Chains A and B, each alone.
Chain A
Amino acid sequence: MNKYDIIIIGGGVVGTAISRELSSYKLKIALLEKEEELAFGVSKSNSGIIHPGTQNRPGSLKGRLCLQGNALIREISRDLGVEFKEIGELIVVFSQEEVSRLLQLKQEAEILGVSGLEVVDQAWLKEHEPNLSREIVAALYAPTAGIISPYRLAYALSENAVLNGLEIYTQSLVQNILVMTPVRHFGSTSLFEITTERNTFQTNYIINAAGLYADEISQMVGINNFQIRPRKGEEFLLDKKQQDLTNHLIFPLPTKISKGVIVIKTFAGNPMIGPTAEDVENKEDLSTSEQGLEKVIRMAQRMVPSIDKKDIIAYFAGLRPVADDDFIIRCEDKVPGFVNVAGIQSPGLTAAPAIAQLVGRILKQNGLVMEKKKDFYRQRKKTVHLSNLAFSQAKELIQTDRSFGDIVCRCEMVSAGEIREAIRQGAVTLDGIKFRTQAQAGRCHGGFCTTRIMKILAQETNRPLTAITKRGRGSEIVKEDRADDD
């Protein structure tokens, strides 16, 4: 029997942030993930925006944790060697009447504690953001907004947590949770037994960070007080040739249900446009639509007219796990020891480090003895990305290790050395390699490099080529190996 102090269900950016935070204490912790790799659920479709806190009500948990998270992410990204760029955001308006909305947003954000806000005029915009539509009359400038790779952050958090003792079980869909202490009173903790496809675990505390499935996990212990409704967002990535399209994140005025279609700058340099916001029934519906594309193009072009459909090199859809208006982060009184972290939609990525700290405080309040480790390893060695290096650094690296000069993905300039490194850090699928290294994420979309990456992955993980998948069982790339026929 595997016994733990805490089990975290869900290996997205929230689950990994909580893992890393709790791994600084003398606790035995495990993380369960249903997919073959971490960050393959809600997190993989995240836009990668670190929000300043301009679009959340001052009294909300979302607003408070967003602001705290925005501050914390700087330190965490430094410690973990994940690139964070503070590029700032502009919320743009098309008429003088709408300027009052900007002032209202500014006032609310200032009450929340957002600093550096400024309403800027057309002259400012012309100088700092020349590709914006001339019809835009003003914008709210928030300099503390930034961008990060959501999956690289999740992988870095998990790697660091593992270094500090976290145990990760992938392909571990939770099937059943047994609450083993029948009589409860205030301050006591339940002992849970969790059954997955492969194992049975016992734990004193459960953190439910299961994203779209948080309601179903919660129901397993008899808590039915919220429901997760998937809200789809379609996003479209443009060619890196357009990387100077904008200098900031460009937002329209927010609506009740979403922040609207945004012109995003991604960590890799490609602009991205989207997302749509559409409530759907199916928690696995990740399809994009022709209507979605038309809508996103139209709304993005309204802000940046030079955006061209022809520059699209990739697209995808993600599902936001929507519960209430606000995040649900609480220990359930009816089941002591069971902590729900649910409905973490935007600004969930930004808030994740703050959510993690809040969960730590909740556990403490609920009787968990938490003692800091003396030998907590705060830092993680930065992953090398050849394309980010200066000429002299790259030259030195290639001379030290020739595999870094052996380019596999030529569109994004990713070497065999980087791909091997990603596999050693835990990538077991082609998508896992793509998220970590950018290989196959460029304009040829893997047309030239897929076979080479498959071979490296097969070799490093000692599996046949027919076992190599795009993102886990059932998504094998090839059906048969003819060389194996006889």
Chain B
Amino acid sequence: MMIERNLVIVGGGPAGMAAAISAYEQGVNDILLLERDQYLGGILNQCIHPGFGLDYFKEILTGPEYADRFIKKIRDIPQIEINLQSLVVDLGADKTLTILKPGLLQQVRAKALIMATGCRERTREMAHIAGTRPAGIYPAGLAQKLINIEGLLPGKEVVIVGSGDIGLIMARRFVLEGASVKAMIEIQKQAGGLLRNVIQCLDDFDIPLYLCHRIACIYGKKRVEKVGIIKIDDQGNDIPDSHFYIECDTILMSVGLIPENELIEMAGVAIDRKTNTPLSQELNKTSIPGVFVCGNAFKIYDLVDSVSGDSGQAGVLAGEYLKKKN
């Protein structure tokens, strides 16, 4: 016998929690929230810097504080069942989820489904950077986790590739941990992250930002030893003789985020191959009725406050869909 639930939400980060609370407020009962990690809150848990909540709560919070507001609220709602360490490994077009957790593999059919699976970081490999493959190359978010959650310092002389917000935040974080951040290399004419982060995380710490430069090659056999950098012109071509090297033991990649939508792709939802997001005319909707996507899985957001706001809308849509169906 297949277990059936009214609403299943995949992902217990800010998007999933906001969607769950809002769906409950719409009158949906019997909500199952699945989180693959051992705790709720998602990536907010490793974002220990302040700057969250200004729009949504009208005050300045750290990532864990922001997450905690939702965690407290959601824990008080008995109609929302929370399953941690629960990974969805397969999704069918009929909204049947295959769920894996320690000691259990099971299938659940959802009447309505909200996917709040977040995003992953683009890697060095996706940026096609040439050279060797030593230890010392990290996606910026992994470095953030190593420092803030595990208390481990990945390296001491750092070059950051790309200038997304996580890269900017991590530039400051490494300096505060006593490491030297030697440069941030950005191929575009302007920084990728928020202006406030450029000022607070680079300028305030005298970290040089090389705009219109790209990493040509990574060197080092066992551990990163140096990077080769080239200046590019307006057309994106390498400028001859502009090549120089920076010695470092660590490279952080902050070259963009990719929405995680492999599950809905399995179920047959139409996906934009360029952005890896659902092809959609309307916020949070997909090509399959009753399957909604919210948060960074729907589009990459700059602020978590906007994720919370928009994801609440996914809860409303799921509520309306279920009402119509019943």
Do A and B come together as binding partners?
yes
Q: A residues near B, CB below 8 A?
A: 241, 284, 286-290, 292-293, 309-310, 312-316, 391, 394-395, 398-399, 402-403, 405-407, 410, 413, 443-448, 450-451, 465-466, 469-483
Decide yes or no whether B100 CB sits under 8 A from chain A. Answer: yes
**Taking the nearest CB of chain B, how far is it from the CB of A458, in angstroms?**
11
Contacts A405-B100, A478-B152, A481-B151 given; indicate if A398 touches B123 (C-beta within 8 A).
Answer: no
**Taking the nearest CB of chain B, how far is it from the CB of A468, in angstroms?**
10
**Taking the nearest CB of chain A, how far is it from the CB of B27, in angstroms?**
33
Compute how far the CA of A290 lies from the CA of B151 in the bound complex, rounded to whole angstroms.
36
**Taking the nearest CB of chain A, how far is it from the CB of B176, in angstroms?**
12
CB pair B154–A475 under 8 Å, yes or no, is: no
Q: CB-CB < 8 A to B68: which residues of A?
A: none
Compute how far the CA of A449 lies from the CA of B149 in the bound complex, rounded to whole angstroms.
13
A contacts with B: majority SS? mixed
CB pair A444–B132 under 8 Å, yes or no, is: no
Task: Tell me which residues from 86 to 141 in chain B have a Cβ below 8 Å from any Cβ of chain A.
Answer: 87, 89, 98, 100-105, 120-121, 123-126, 128, 130-135, 139, 141
Compute how far the CA of A483 lies from the CA of B223 in the bound complex, rounded to whole angstroms.
23
- Number of residues in B with C-beta < 8 Å to the partner? 49
Decide yes or no whether B186 CB sits under 8 A from chain A. Answer: no
Q: CB-CB < 8 A to B273: which residues of A?
A: 310
Digitize B265-294: 1 where CB-to-A-CB distance is under 8 Å, 0 elsewhere: 100000001000000000000000000000
CB pair A478–B153 under 8 Å, yes or no, is: yes
Nearest B residue to A284, CB-CB: B221
CB pair B134–A470 under 8 Å, yes or no, is: yes
Compute how far the CA of A445 lies from the CA of B141 in the bound complex, rounded to whole angstroms.
13
Residue of A313, A405, A465 near B152 (CB, 8 A) is A465
Complex A-B, nearest 8 residue pairs according to Cβ-Cβ distance, in ascending order = A402-B103, A474-B222, A475-B135, A470-B135, A475-B222, A478-B152, A480-B153, A402-B102
Residue of A312, A394, A469, A480 near B125 (CB, 8 A) is A312
CB pair A478–B103 under 8 Å, yes or no, is: no
Residue of A391, A413, A479 near B154 (CB, 8 A) is A479
Decide yes or no whether B35 CB sits under 8 A from chain A. Answer: no
CB pair A405–B103 under 8 Å, yes or no, is: yes
**Taking the nearest CB of chain A, how far is it from the CB of B213, in angstroms?**
16
Contacts A289-B130, A398-B103, A470-B134 given; indicate if A443 touches B120 (C-beta within 8 A).
Answer: yes
Q: Can you give 19 contacting A-B residue pairs, CB < 8 Å?
A: A286-B221, A290-B130, A310-B273, A313-B126, A314-B125, A315-B125, A391-B98, A394-B105, A398-B104, A402-B102, A407-B36, A413-B89, A451-B149, A466-B152, A469-B135, A470-B135, A475-B134, A475-B135, A483-B151
CB pair A482–B105 under 8 Å, yes or no, is: no
Compute how far the CA of A17 lies from the CA of B201 in the bound complex, rounded to whole angstroms.
55
Nearest B residue to A294, CB-CB: B128
CB pair B85–A406 under 8 Å, yes or no, is: yes
CB pair B87–A445 under 8 Å, yes or no, is: no
Contacts A407-B100, A447-B142, A465-B150 given; indicate if A477 touches B128 (C-beta within 8 A).
Answer: no
Q: Which of B36, B105, B217, B221 has the most CB of A within 10 A?
A: B105
